[in-house]
Chains A and B, each alone.
Chain A
Amino acid sequence: MLYQQLINGLMLGASYALIAIGYTLIFGVLKLLYFAHGEVFMIGAFAGLYLVLYGGANIYVALLGAMIICALLGVIAVYVSVRPVAKDRPLAPLISTIGLTIILQNLAVYLLGGQQVAFPEAIKQELYHIGPITISSVQIFILGIAISLMVVLWFFIEHTKMGRAIRATAENHETAALLGVDVNRVVLVTFMIGSGIAGVAGVLDGIKNSGISPFMGLSAAVKGLIVMLLGGLGNVPGAMIAGLLLGLIEILSAAYIGTTERDFFSFAILILILLYRPTGLFGARTPEER
């Protein structure tokens, strides 16, 4: 029973982590709370669904397609809601991305209908028994994709030239520019990566819950935010670990205390962090820290 819940917790946590990575990457380079991120996640789920349903795509192609579509959405977000607004007014991009959130959600309801839509069975459901644990092929698939994506992203951030440029930009735009970094381009790449990962998270969520709706973005956005705070603003590895942690906490509290209290625990954690550890469990990556 406990092992089973641990696996469920990791599954839930992995999707929280994937959403929070985008939030925290974007927060890192722009100090911007990017509101539309939950809607990008929702659009990723629908992109995956339509690619499977009408495009006849297999699940890998659907994941890749959703990633690309969401990455392009990230580019659009930069051009319509970040670049045109004043850089020296921190609230301006926050409000313009809230506007983008509302537009994306209404567009999705208008085009896709307000109903929950069933996600087709994209992976053959098989059960494996390993000792006391029963794990399904779907669970292995979701965890496998999520964890490999995180490993690849970690490697990219830590060990590539573009990854270093992203880290440098997150520390200081002026310094990065003086070293030859095109900061606007880094912002664009960051939005593409964060949004692409959110797209994958959306598809994985569709597979896991076997249903998606245009309103799934809001709760994902809220959980992503909690994870970002828990992991430390702008801290990518922190978001990965905090995501898994929050998933475990939610599932274990649902299993042993009660399902109705599940969200109570997430928000209680949020409040405790804000009160006692505003830099998160693993330290924030914000300029104030310096």
Chain B
Amino acid sequence: MTMLTIQGLRAGYGKIEVLHDVGVTIERGQIVTLIGANGAGKTTLLKTISGLIRPTAGTIEFDSQNIARRPPHKIVGLGLSQVPEGRAILKRMTVLDNLRMGAFTRRDSEIGSDIDAVYRRFPILGERRDQMAATLSGGEQQMLAIGRALMARPTLLLLDEPSLGLAPKFITRIFLTLRELQKEGKTILLVEQNARQALQVADRGYVMERGKIVLSGSGQELLNMPEVQRTYLGQHAA
């Protein structure tokens, strides 16, 4: 079953087009990763999917409805949550208020038990529930950003460089969490600079260069491709 189908997508900032005819397909239950150099258009693609940028052409079909050109606050409610670049936690709000904000679109009575579930997944957040989010370390902030995105009960989770600037033990923790979430039935689109680890967890990968998808394949296929090894795994390739 297809969860997200992007076809012929063009988008950018003002008159500058960043994405040129982008197509991506994500099957339900998969972890799909998008790798590429800085400035390739990865973040722009995520922002266009989540509605922060209006595409000039193309379609984004999520759960078989076209969400291109819908405002971001309407898209969250459909089950598509984003963990933005740089975590974007609300630093002047408490950990608990950040999680409550994650459930902003919900009106049900299970918000409290979902908050407890986030605390079970990331116990440190429970210990710091009443602290201002600004006092958390980078890794803890990333956990909060993921926990907050989960509060919307998404079926598709978009993550923009969750490992950026984190200590190795936190990076491992984040990738473990992604695997857990997949087992729980979430579909994940992961944008990463950390290409090796991203391709290792991914069912499918896309490589983006200058606003276009230039390569795609299973995570393992991409790991074995010489052009991927040269450009994206270069410094690690033995």
* Chief secondary structure at chain A's binding surface: helix
* Chain A contacts with B in 50-84, Cβ cutoff 8 A: none
Q: Is B93 in contact with A179, judged by CB distance below 8 angstroms?
A: no
A contact residues around B101 at 8 Å (CB): 164-165, 168, 176, 179, 181
Tally of chain B residues near chain A (CB < 8 A): 26
B152 at the interface (CB under 8 A from A): yes
The answer to whether residues A180 and B73 also contact, given A165-B104, A174-B84 and a CB cut-off of 8 A, is yes
Q: Is A175 in contact with B152, judged by CB distance below 8 angstroms?
A: no
Counting chain A CB atoms within 10 Å of each CB, which of B52, B90, B91, B134 scores highest? B90
Q: Is A182 in contact with B73, judged by CB distance below 8 angstroms?
A: yes
Q: Is B52 in contact with A174, judged by CB distance below 8 angstroms?
A: yes
Q: Is B71 in contact with A182, judged by CB distance below 8 angstroms?
A: yes
A contact residues around B100 at 8 Å (CB): 161, 164
Instruction: Report A156-190 CB contacts with B as 1/0, cut-off 8 Å.
Output: 00000100110110011011111111110000000
Instruction: Report A133-150 CB contacts with B as 1/0, cut-off 8 Å.
Output: 000000000000000000
A contact residues around B134 at 8 Å (CB): 290
Q: Is B76 in contact with A178, judged by CB distance below 8 angstroms?
A: yes
A contact residues around B204 at 8 Å (CB): none
The answer to whether residues A179 and B76 also contact, given A161-B104, A164-B101, A168-B101 and a CB cut-off of 8 A, is yes
Q: Given the complex of chains A and B, what is the CA–CA distance between A181 and B104 in angstroms? A: 7
B212 at the interface (CB under 8 A from A): no
B105 at the interface (CB under 8 A from A): yes
Q: Is A290 in contact with B91, judged by CB distance below 8 angstroms?
A: yes
A285 at the interface (CB under 8 A from B): yes
Counting chain B CB atoms within 10 Å of each CB, which of A161, A175, A178 scores highest? A178
> Considering only CB atoms, which chain B residue lies closest to A235 in the complex?
B92
Q: Is A179 in contact with B102, judged by CB distance below 8 angstroms?
A: yes
* Chain A contacts with B in 26-42, Cβ cutoff 8 A: none
Q: Given the complex of chains A and B, what is the CA–CA distance between A175 and B104 in angstroms? A: 12
A contact residues around B72 at 8 Å (CB): 174, 177-178
Q: Given the complex of chains A and B, what is the CA–CA distance between A135 and B90 in angstroms? A: 44
Q: Is A177 in contact with B73, judged by CB distance below 8 angstroms?
A: yes
A contact residues around B84 at 8 Å (CB): 174-175, 178
> Considering only CB atoms, which chain A residue lies closest to B107 in the complex?
A161
Q: Is A174 in contact with B88, judged by CB distance below 8 angstroms?
A: yes
Counting chain B CB atoms within 10 Å of each CB, which of A165, A180, A182 scores highest? A180
Q: How far is the CB of B94 from chain A (nearest CB, A)?
A: 10
B97 at the interface (CB under 8 A from A): yes
Footprint of A on B, CB under 8 Å? 50-52, 71-73, 76-77, 81-82, 84, 88-93, 97, 100-102, 104-105, 134, 148, 152
A-B pairs, 10 with minimum CB distance: A180-B105, A180-B76, A177-B72, A180-B104, A175-B88, A182-B73, A180-B73, A179-B104, A171-B90, A179-B101
Give me 10 A-to-B residue pairs in the complex whose CB atoms sit less than 8 angstroms apart, sorted by A's number.
A164-B93, A174-B52, A174-B84, A178-B50, A178-B88, A179-B102, A179-B148, A180-B73, A181-B101, A290-B134
Footprint of B on A, CB under 8 Å? 161, 164-165, 167-168, 171-172, 174-183, 285, 290
